[in-house]
């Protein structure tokens, strides 16, 4: 069975060596040595400061909202994984949807400007499939309106330009380290803050609001990363070059075969930032074609995914419908193809053959 992604497992001996340290120390959670080591190593690898490790990417979003004091309305994208929207609702914030750019699949900056009002507290864009948003334009907008900017960078691990990592933009960026991501800690996530004071507050909030022995300063939550998660992260991080090289090879194999197909649309990539080859989305001309290809591949035990479906502005539990025609149309015609480092070329050939046969 070929799924849309496959969890990368590092050299077992590396992971075992870290697990042995855990058993030797008896320290399993609560700011252990491996969590601290992973935090330092990620700051070095990503060239960022003020990185807080947490237990998953959804809680990373929720803690960022709390630290930055968001209230009322937050402008966000309808084209993302459901956690982007649901995390806002969970924190009693109101998502306001700005439609997306039909080429990049990222939030449309002009639509964002039109949605800002007196109750807007933040903008929450997503670097969709690791494709960088128009970060500098979004920063200018937030500065002009004195509102916060949080990037959902769940897909954007190690996306950067010659000067900066994508994670250094905005007031905060969040990462997901779920097992399906290119870098993972089994479950996990991180928040990268612009300001040291926000980093310090997040450290307090993720540990129940406890600031010291028998001292509780504020309402907090428990979303700390544990030592076993950190051990996996350290082992995976040591092999990131190999992971990136293999994923690029698979991504390029798709691209070289599909870019010239006139009845297929590929995502337009921001030229100012590098790619991390996290996903390979393909857009077809009609939903019927998309579903036919999905069915044919499923018969072969190959399982692409309709990332993302549905368009989040159409979730049943939202209060009121906000039309986003570009996103609503795109979600009916998109498939993310299987992409992982050891995906065999012969399997890719089968996938490409099915796509080409159905789009002639």
- Which CATH number belongs to the domain containing residue 45 in this structure? 3.40.640.10
Q: With 90 as the cut, is the pLDDT of residue 255 above it?
A: yes
**pLDDT grade for 69, boundaries at 50, 70 and 90:** very high
319: domain CATH number is 3.90.1150.10
Q: What is the pLDDT of residue 256?
A: 97
Q: What is the pLDDT of residue 129?
A: 98
Whether 138 and 196 map to the same domain: the answer is: yes
Q: What is the pLDDT of residue 126?
A: 98
Three-class DSSP labels, the chain: CEECCCCCCCCHHHHHHHHHHHHHHCCCCCCCHHHHHHHHHHHHHHCCCCEEEECCHHHHHHHHHHHCCCCCEEEECCCCCCHHHHHHHHCCCEEEECCECCCCCCECHHHHHHHCCCCEEEEECECHHHCCCCHHHHHHHHHHHCCEEEEECCCCCCCECCCCEHHHCCCEEEEECCCCCCCCCCCCEEEEECCHHHHHHHHHHCECCEEECCEECCCCCECCCCHHHHHHHHHHHCCHHHHHHHHHHHHHHHHHHHCCCCCEEECCCCCCCCCCCCCCEEEECCHHHHHHHHHHHHHCCEECECCCCCCHHHCCCCCCCCCCHHHHHHCCCEEECCCCCCCCHHHHHHHHHHHHHHCC
Of 222, 237, 252, the one marking the end of a domain is 237
Domain that holds residue 20: 2-237
Q: What is the pLDDT of residue 282?
A: 98
Q: With 80 as the cut, is the pLDDT of residue 103 above it?
A: yes
Whether 191 and 221 map to the same domain: the answer is: yes
Of 218, 237, 256, the one marking the end of a domain is 237
Q: With 80 as the cut, is the pLDDT of residue 160 above it?
A: yes
pLDDT in tens, 47-62: 999 999 999 999 999 9
Q: What is the pLDDT of residue 319?
A: 86
**pLDDT grade for 92, boundaries at 50, 70 and 90:** very high
pLDDT in tens, 272-307: 999 999 999 999 999 999 999 999 999 999 999 999
pTM: 0.97
Whether 12 and 130 map to the same domain: the answer is: yes
Whether 39 and 171 map to the same domain: the answer is: yes
Q: With 90 as the cut, is the pLDDT of residue 360 above it?
A: no
How many domains are contained in the chain?
Answer: 2
Of 186, 206, 237, the one marking the end of a domain is 237
Smallest CA-to-CA distance from 8 within 179, 155, 178 is with: 179
Average pLDDT over residues 345-358: 97
Average pLDDT over residues 178-199: 98
How many residues does this entry show for the chain? Answer: 360
Q: What is the pLDDT of residue 200?
A: 97
Percent of the chain with pLDDT strictly greater than 90: 98
Looking at every residue in the chain, the average pLDDT score rounds to 97
Average pLDDT over residues 218-223: 96
pLDDT in tens, 26-35: 999 999 999 9
Q: With 90 as the cut, is the pLDDT of residue 145 above it?
A: yes
Whether 327 and 197 map to the same domain: the answer is: no
């Amino acid at each position: 069975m070929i799924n849309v992604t496959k969890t990368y497992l590092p050299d077992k001996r590396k992971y075992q060596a870290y697990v042995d340290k855990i058993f030797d120390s008896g320290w399993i959670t609560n700011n252990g040595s491996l969590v601290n080591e992973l935090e330092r190593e990620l700051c070095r690898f990503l060239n960022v400061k003020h990185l807080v490790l947490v237990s998953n990417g959804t809680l990373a979003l929720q803690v960022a909202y709390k630290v930055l004091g968001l209230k009322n309305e937050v402008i966000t994208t309808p084209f993302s994984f459901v956690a982007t929207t649901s995390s806002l609702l969970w924190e009693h914030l109101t998502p306001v949807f700005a439609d997306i750019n039909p080429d990049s699949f990222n939030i449309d900056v002009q639509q964002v400007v039109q949605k800002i009002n007196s109750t807007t507290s933040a903008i929450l864009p997503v670097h969709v499939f690791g494709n960088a948003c128009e970060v500098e334009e979004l920063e200018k907008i937030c500065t002009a309106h004195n509102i916060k900017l949080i990037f959902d960078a769940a897909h954007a691990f190690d996306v950067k330009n010659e000067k900066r990592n994508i994670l250094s933009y905005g007031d905060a960026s969040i990462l997901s380290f779920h097992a399906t991501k290119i870098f993972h800690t089994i479950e996990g996530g991180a928040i990268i803050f612009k300001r040291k004071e926000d980093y310090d507050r997040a450290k307090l909030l993720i540990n129940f609001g406890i600031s010291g022995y028998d001292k509780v300063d504020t309402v907090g939550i428990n979303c700390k990363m544990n030592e076993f998660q950190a051990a996996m992260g350290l082992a995976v991080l040591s092999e990131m070059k190999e992971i990136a090289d293999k994923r690029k090879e698979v991504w390029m194999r798709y691209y070289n075969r599909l870019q010239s197909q006139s009845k297929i649309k590929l995502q337009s990539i921001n030229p100012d930032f590098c790619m991390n080859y996290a996903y390979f989305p393909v857009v077809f001309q009609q939903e019927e074609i998309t579903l036919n290809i999905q069915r044919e591949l499923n018969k072969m035990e190959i399982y692409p995914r309709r990332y993302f479906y549905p368009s989040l502005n159409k979730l049943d539990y939202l209060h009121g419908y906000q039309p986003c025609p570009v996103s609503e149309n795109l979600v009916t015609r998109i498939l993310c193809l299987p992409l992982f480092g050891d995906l065999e070329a012969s399997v890719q050939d089968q996938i490409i053959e099915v796509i080409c046969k159905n789009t002639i």
